[in-house]
Amino acid sequence: MAKFEKLFEPIKIKSMTVPNRIMMPALTVNIAIGPVNDAVIAYYERRARGGAGLIVAGISSVVTSQLQGIDMATDDRIPGHRRLTDAIHKYETKASIQLWHPGRYEITFDPKYETISASDVTPPIFSRKKPRPMSIEEIEEMVEKFAAAADRAVKAGYDAVEFVASAGYLIAQFMSPVTNLRTDKYGGPLENRARFGAEIIRAARKKVGDDFPIMIRMVGDEFLPGGNTIEEMKRFARIWEDAGADLFNVTAGWHESKTPMITMNVPRGGYVWMAESIKKALDHAPVAASNRINDPELAESILREGRADMVSMARALVADPDLPRKAREGRINEIRKCIACMNCMDSLFTGVKAQCSLNAEACRELELGGDIGTAAQKKKVVVIGGGPAGCEAARVAKMRGHDVVLFEKGAKLGGQLNLAATTPGFGEFAEVPATYSHVLQKAGVDIRLNTPATVENVIAEKPDQVIYAAGAVPNKPPIPGIGLSHVVDAWDVMGGRNVNGDSVVVIGGGGTGCDVAMHLAHQKKKVTIVEMLPKVGHNIGPGSRWVVLQTLQELGVEMRPNFKVKEIQTEHVTGERDGREEKIPAEAVVLALGSKPERALFDKLKEKNVPVQCVGDAVEPRKIVNAIHDGYNAARAI
């Protein structure tokens, strides 16, 4: 406990006393639209049970026209929200709600529907529709809608409300000179651009009373050309503190910003300085720091150094809702630290509920019907392969009460994650095998490293069930010259093999090709990626792809899509692009042409009538999310 003295110190914000300094900020996960449902309640209750001090539910619209999140637009929503706050309050956790309007970001399928904003500046993302500037009367009506939603939040049992003035939503659109071109009292000077937010705070205060906490989610820098920077944001915060705001939850950037904010290449706690700056500008209101805080030790240091009064952990508590409890109990090596892989965000782009790569239970709490539980009958389970699928299968099978043996041919757990972690900026991948190693050993899984599985040693274990997670092997198509001495495989390079020469052609522009290209570019190689498809990074999720491509460009990597390799030669790679032959100088060639399942042993075990199930890349080469979810589902069913 002493180690996390500040992290587990209560904080009082007007009528609300939060039991610790860990806040879960609002995060869209697509498990409800409109009214609160049982899935939303199960999701947030799980985080409360894990020990979060304050949970901010949302996003929650103040009008009913949006297609995202739960709303608080009408009185008939109050009972559903009361069920949610009651569930959170079963524990010591406090509950807030984030009240929201997207403005010009509003997504609609009606071509006649008019989006609204401060001015008629078309957004480059989401709706991509030119919005209609709001009239003075509409602004005043919107202020009242925010205030009325805050009043409903009080009636629903929330302990606080939060207004979102970040990410490029409606309040932020009034704040920014990029999107606010008005010449009336809501435009022009900063004080005018702060007016909309200040009026919302004052109107809400009249509804909720003097002692009810009002929070603001804001950015420290918009990261937009010509947008507000930290200096302007400090002035906004002071104005809003004077208007009655009680806590500032500080993040970074807008959705359309071209600066990475939450991806893996952003250092942990990389934007804490923004919260620190806002805190110094305020008279008394506490401040929460955000972005890439996935570790309780980092959180404790932020608080001890006085850089913030609370820490926001969103995806960290999606990945491991028990993070607070594990930290309090000194079990920090058991925490599944969010690796910022962006899969949860990528899920949202497809319109489905969020999926966490590391936590197969996230957003499935209701569907799964509770914790893993103990199996009715104890069985002997053999897991073949110590990559993410095998490790997760071993973990869950052991939690179910089974005897578990894990065969891993290599010297350590982790599989391809150990290779991915060698790319500069992608070191978070190393957290996954490190955590599994600790958790599996502590649980008593019989881990046999440097032990290739065979038919004989598997059968000798007399297994009731075998989970086959042997992964995949690199593809090597019959390209002329593929056997030349200067041709190497991407996995070997990522594993530490030297690449001779200065000019390198990477054949294959998927995720592995991009990773190895960055790896080599950091070694000052002149790297060219050739890709047969029209896009480089075609299998990288949208939340990360733009960052990867931006990084490749910054490193000077040349990218040639629509390039079909014809032959690898001693000093060149010859191919065809747009109907023309091209020769690219290459002192070395790296193959990143995907992979194929390694199924030989699986087939042999089936022939011997061994009960065996295939998971992860051994089914089909995919992503870490598929591997871990496969392993979880297979083991939970035993």
Query: Is 480 part of any domain?
Result: no
> Is position 373 within any domain?
no
Which of 173-177, 444-448, 541-545, 583-587 bottoms out in mean pLDDT, i.e. has the lowest? 541-545
Compute CA distances 252 → 41, 161, 233, 259, 554, whole Å: 28, 20, 11, 9, 22
- Model pLDDT, residue 347: 80
Same domain (yes/no): 600, 588:
no
Segment 599-624 mean pLDDT: 96
pLDDT confidence tier of residue 482, bands split at 50, 70 and 90: very high
Check which CATH number belongs to the domain holding 434 and give it.
Answer: 3.40.50.720
Asked if 307 and 213 sit in the same domain, the reply is yes
308 and 435 in a single domain? The answer is no
Strand positions, DSSP E, 429-525: 446-448, 465-468, 472-474, 487-489, 503-507
Please give the backbone phi and psi of residue 106, each rounded to the nearest 5 degrees, phi first. Answer: -60, 130
Residues 244, 345, single domain; the answer is yes
Q: Scanning the structure block, which residue is given the tokens 């052609």? A: 505
Whole-number pLDDT of residue 66? 66
Instruction: Answer yes or no: are the C-beta atoms of 532 and 563 closer than 8 Å.
Output: yes
Same domain, yes or no: 206 and 147: yes
Structural domain count, the chain: 3
pLDDT of 474 strictly over 80: yes
Q: What is the pLDDT of residues 283-315, one digit of tens each?
A: 999 999 999 999 999 999 999 999 999 999 999
The domain that contains 560 carries what CATH number?
A: 3.50.50.60
374-393: per-residue pLDDT in tens? Answer: 999 999 999 999 999 999 99
List phi, psi (to 5°) of 411. -85, -10
Does residue 163 contact residue 217 with C-beta atoms inside 8 Å? yes
Q: Which residues contact 138 (CB under 8 A, 6 or more apart)?
A: 116
User: Is it the case that residue 1 has pLDDT exceeding 50?
Assistant: no
Pairing of strands 22-24, 310-312: parallel
Q: So what's the pLDDT on residue 127?
A: 86
Q: What range does the domain containing 330 cover?
A: 2-368
pLDDT value of residue 65: 63
- pLDDT-derived band at 23 (thresholds 50, 70, 90) equals very high
Taking the C-alpha atoms of residue 427 and residue 43, their distance in angstroms, rounded to an integer, is 29
Question: In three state form, how does the secondary structure of 333-385 look?
Answer: HHCCCCCCCCHHHHHHHCCCCCCCCCCCCCCCHHHHCCCCCCCCCCCEEEEEC
Residues 58-74 have pLDDT tens digits of: 999 999 866 788 999 99
Domain-ending residue, one of 320, 337, 368: 368
Arithmetic mean of pLDDT, 22-48: 96
- Torsion sign over Cα 149, 151, 152, 154: positive
Hey, what amino acid is at 33? I
Residue 531 lies in a domain: yes
Interaxial angle between packed helices 136-155 and 78-88, expressed in degrees from 0 to 180 and rounded to the nearest 10 = 50
- Mean pLDDT for the stretch of residues 521-533: 96
**Residue 487 near residue 568, CB atoms below 8 Å:** yes
| 67, 70, 74, 76: CA torsion to nearest 10 | 120
Q: Does residue 320 share a domain with residue 396?
A: no
Q: Is residue 479 part of a domain?
A: no
Do 434 and 518 lie in one domain? The reply is: no
113, part of any domain? yes
Of 577, 593, 609, the position where a domain reaches its end is 593
Mean pLDDT of 472-495: 94
Provide mean pLDDT across the span 198-225: 98
Whether 91 and 48 have beta carbons less than 8 Å apart is answered as yes
The CATH number covering residue 175 comes to 3.20.20.70
Is 109 a residue whose pLDDT tops 80? no
How far is residue 118's CA from residue 100's CA, in Å, rounded to a whole number? 15
Percent helix, strand, coil in the chain, to 5, is 35, 20, 45
Determine the pLDDT at residue 479: 95
Confidence label for 38 from pLDDT (cuts 50, 70 and 90): very high
Q: Name the percent of the chain lying above pLDDT 70.
A: 99
One domain, residues 580 and 600: no
- pLDDT number for residue 111: 82
Stretch 469-479: mean pLDDT: 94
**3-class secondary-structure state, position 141:** helix
Structural domain includes residue 568? yes
Is the same domain home to 155 and 51?
Answer: yes
Domain final position from 368, 403, 427: 368
**Which pLDDT value is given to residue 348?**
77
**Looking at the predicted structure, is the pLDDT value of residue 87 above 70?**
yes
Partners of 216 in beta bridges: 163, 248
User: Where residue 535 falls among pLDDT bands split at 50, 70, 90?
Assistant: very high
pLDDT tens per residue, range 265-274: 999 999 999 9
- 516 found inside a domain: yes
Q: What is the pLDDT of residue 609?
A: 96
Mean pLDDT in residue range 180-196: 98
Distance CA 532, CA 503 (A): 20
Task: Decide if 282 contacts 237 (C-beta within 8 A).
Answer: yes
Stretch 23-44: mean pLDDT:
95
pLDDT at 165: 98
Q: Do residue 134 and residue 176 come from a single domain?
A: yes
Question: Which sign, positive or negative, has the C-alpha torsion 29, 31, 37, 41?
Answer: negative
- Determine the average pLDDT of the residues in 14-39: 96
206 vs 190: CA distance, rounded Å: 24
Mean per-residue pLDDT of the chain = 96
* 16 and 116 co-located in one domain: yes
**Residue 47: inside a domain:** yes
**Same domain, yes or no: 54 and 17:** yes
